[in-house]
Amino acid sequence: MDLRFTVQTKIQKPVNEVFDAVYNPQKLSAYFTNAGSTGALKEGTTVLWTFGEVAGQTITVPVKVQKTVQNRLIRFAWEASEGEYDAKAGTVPRPAGYDNTVEISFDPLGDGETLVRITESGWRSTEGGLQGTYQNCSGWMHMSCCLKAYLQYGIDLRKGSF
């Protein structure tokens, strides 16, 4: 079984603004990587994304950027996680020791709208891998909603969510 998912969100902003809000570390940190990002998502680089609110912990994740096409695509690899997230217990999914691939595509729809699609794949076909897909699918949907709220309304929807 190929464990993968795709989420998508339509954002009422031009593609260049939407792409920049993901690519640019200052903008990304305003709604997603709330404890920072060490750099732009330039092809061939590795940047560190830091999240400061997950289960009361600070988590830093290396993001290995494989491909960047201006206003069209960002693809990167990062370590897969397996298992369940439990906010009450203060636990996060465990690192799995292998990488997943994430593709974020940006499709202009005209009239200043952009469709953002996020696909993640690469989990092992195990119960832990299946749980990892559920967790990340939920996380990427949350990220895309936060991106929409940030760009369309100027708010940080993620603040206080975890």
Q: How far apart are CA 110 and CA 119, in angstroms?
A: 23
Examine residue 97 and state whether it is found in any structural domain, yes or no: yes
pLDDT at residue 31 above 80?
yes
**122-154 per-position pLDDT tens digit:** 999 998 899 899 989 999 999 999 999 999 999
**48-93 per-position pLDDT tens digit:** 999 876 666 788 889 999 999 999 999 999 999 887 666 555 555 6
Examine residue 26 and state whether it is found in any structural domain, yes or no: yes
Sequence-ordered list of residues with C-beta below 8 angstroms from that of 139, at least 6 positions apart, any chain: none
Q: How many domains does the chain have?
A: 1
Residue 147, both tokens: 């991106």
Instruction: With residue 152 as reference, give the H or E element that holds it.
Output: helix 127-153
pLDDT of residue 58: 82
Examine residue 95 and state whether it is found in any structural domain, yes or no: yes
Residue 74 burial (CB count, 10 A): 23
pLDDT at residue 20 above 80?
yes
For residue 121, give the CATH number of its domain: 3.30.530.20
For residues 109 and 115, the answer to whether their CB atoms sit within 8 Å is: yes
pLDDT at residue 118 above 90?
yes
Sequence-ordered list of residues with C-beta below 8 angstroms from that of 112, at least 6 positions apart, any chain: 12, 13, 14
Instruction: With residue 153 as reference, give the H or E element that holds it.
Output: helix 127-153
One DSSP character per residue, 52-106 reads EEETTEEEEEEEEEEEEETTTEEEEEEEEEES--BTTTTB-PEEEEEEEEEEEEE
Q: Which domain range does residue 110 map to?
A: 3-32+69-153
For residues 142 and 150, the answer to whether their CB atoms sit within 8 Å is: no
For residues 22 and 104, the answer to whether their CB atoms sit within 8 Å is: yes
pLDDT of residue 158: 79
Examine residue 160 and state whether it is found in any structural domain, yes or no: no
The values of phi and psi at residue 100, to 5°, are: -105, 165
pLDDT at residue 159 above 80?
no
pLDDT of residue 145: 96
